[in-house]
Amino acid sequence: MQYDFFLNVALHPFLNTFISKADYRIHQGNPPITKIMVQKRDTCQSPGVLIGTYFHQGIFSPVYRRETKGGTNSVNRGLPLFYRNNSTKRVQNTYFSGSLIFYSNTHLFSMKVGILGATGAVGQKFIRLLQGHPWFEIEALGASERSADKKYKDAANWIEDVVLPESIKEMTVRNCKPAEFGDVDFVFSGLDSSVAGEIEKAFASAGIPVISNAKNYRQDPTVPLLIPEINPDHTELIKKQTFTKDGSGWIVTNPNCVAVPLAISLKPLYDAFGIQALILTTMQAVSGAGYPGVASLDILGNVIPFISGEEPKVGPETRKILSTLEGTTLAKPHFPVQATATRVPTINGHMISVTAKLEDPPSNFEELKAAYTNWKNPIGDLDLPFSPKKLYKLHEEEQYPQPRLHADAENGMQLHLGRLRKAEVFDVSFVAMAHNTIRGAAGGAILNAELLVKKGFLK
């Protein structure tokens, strides 16, 4: 992802150049690599100095510096250029004398975050996805009393397909109590629904915002069921919450891992034609069952035509997501949803076969296709790190999308749409697919947090 910003600074004693323009690029990694190309202020010609920096624990430090003096180059690692003051939560310049002025929304600091349910499957996905995040830094990990006070490497059975980050291994797991998370700006919750309700309420009541993956508050009329590209205005519901008198504590949830791709796939149709009724069948990957998940003898070479508790969520959540905000109240649509949820032997990527009856059907296929190609992303200009460059991938080939080929596209945050066609029964049919543990869980929650930063709810 690229950010452009302008700096107004005085002479840097180590660079021996004035900086007026920078091209700032973030490359995900551990640590993430940040490259800054700077121009001399007096000439503003081609980039005169190339600086590689890395960002770690709130500090930007040079990795190498190349300067041409008398025909010689020097490459070395220097001291921090600027850093985040943990008390004021502002970026400060250490070796620049003069002011540091930003003319864009570029974030050069990280907020301190906690993860509740950090040893579980969703918690582990949060840990993995937050490595190298340019805005958020993991400060605290919470889990059950059984895991509390242990090193994370001893408390968790790490199931991600990457190595457990060194910075996380030695962190001590805390109890999921607000008093033990006083050093964070907000928390992500990957808690199981059996315990999430009371714990999340306790954090919000203590003035610690909660961005949750659990189902407990999804149907609360004051809690946004948020997909940033679909209903960003629903964040206004936060102002109705009463966990704290000053509004400092609140809860935002992301939807069920099927409701996410379903609502995203329906939004352009809903806006253009209206929806009267839906019939759908889900084909849900085994990762959606968590760990240890579905027994191998049950799922290998097999399909299970029922997932307990899944079907009743799909209709109510989809209708809430597509609701219209009227003041601080949601006006919900009333279309019925007939859902059949099945478990299939794929690892990642939930697929849905959908047939929809529309209120005002399109007259031809091109009009139907145009609903997607002409759709405008309401957060497209916010430069959110987890936002895909292109939300919809409309596949023309009849054999696509496929979870194994497409679930990880755009860092797992893209919605894939295929088999789009006029239907013999109802009006339109299509297949939708998205990564269930990224777009449909932890990645969606991180994108929610990024939007809430931009909207000023997270500070």
DSSP category for residue 381: T
For residue 192, give the 3-state DSSP assignment.
Answer: coil
**How far apart are alpha carbons 347 and 369 in whole angstroms?**
30
- Containing H/E element for 27? strand 19-27
Which of 257, 395, 406, 416 is an active site residue?
Answer: 257
Which of 350, 395, 406, 416 is an active site residue?
Answer: 350
Q: How far is CA 282 from the centre of its chain?
A: 23
DSSP category for residue 244: S
R_g of the chain computed on alpha carbons: 24
Residues 101, 7: contact at Cβ < 8 Å? yes
Among candidates 406, 418, 417, 415, which has minimal Cα distance to 444?
415
For the beta carbon of residue 120, count every other beta carbon within 10 angstroms.
Answer: 23
Distance linking the first and last C-alpha atoms of the chain: 22
Residue 343 bridge partners (DSSP): 284, 304
DSSP category for residue 165: P
* 44 catalytically annotated: no
Residues 337, 424: contact at Cβ < 8 Å? no
Among candidates 123, 111, 114, 125, which has minimal Cα distance to 57?
111
Among candidates 208, 124, 111, 214, which has minimal Cα distance to 173?
124
Residues 361, 423: contact at Cβ < 8 Å? no
Whether the link from the prior residue into 362 is cis, omega within 30° of 0, is: no
Give the position of tokens 């950090």. Answer: 118
**How far apart are alpha carbons 274 and 272 in whole angstroms?**
6
Among candidates 288, 295, 261, 306, which has minimal Cα distance to 346?
288
Q: Torsion-angle region of residue 168: left (phi > 0), alpha (psi -120 to 50) or beta?
A: alpha
Q: How far is CA 102 from the centre of its chain?
A: 25
For the beta carbon of residue 104, count every other beta carbon within 10 angstroms.
Answer: 11
**How far apart are alpha carbons 435 and 390 in whole angstroms?**
15
Q: Which residues contact 166 (CB under 8 A, 6 or more apart)?
A: none
* 176 catalytically annotated: no
Dihedral sign computed on CA atoms, order 94, 96, 99, 103? negative
Give the catalytic positions in this structure.
Answer: 257, 350
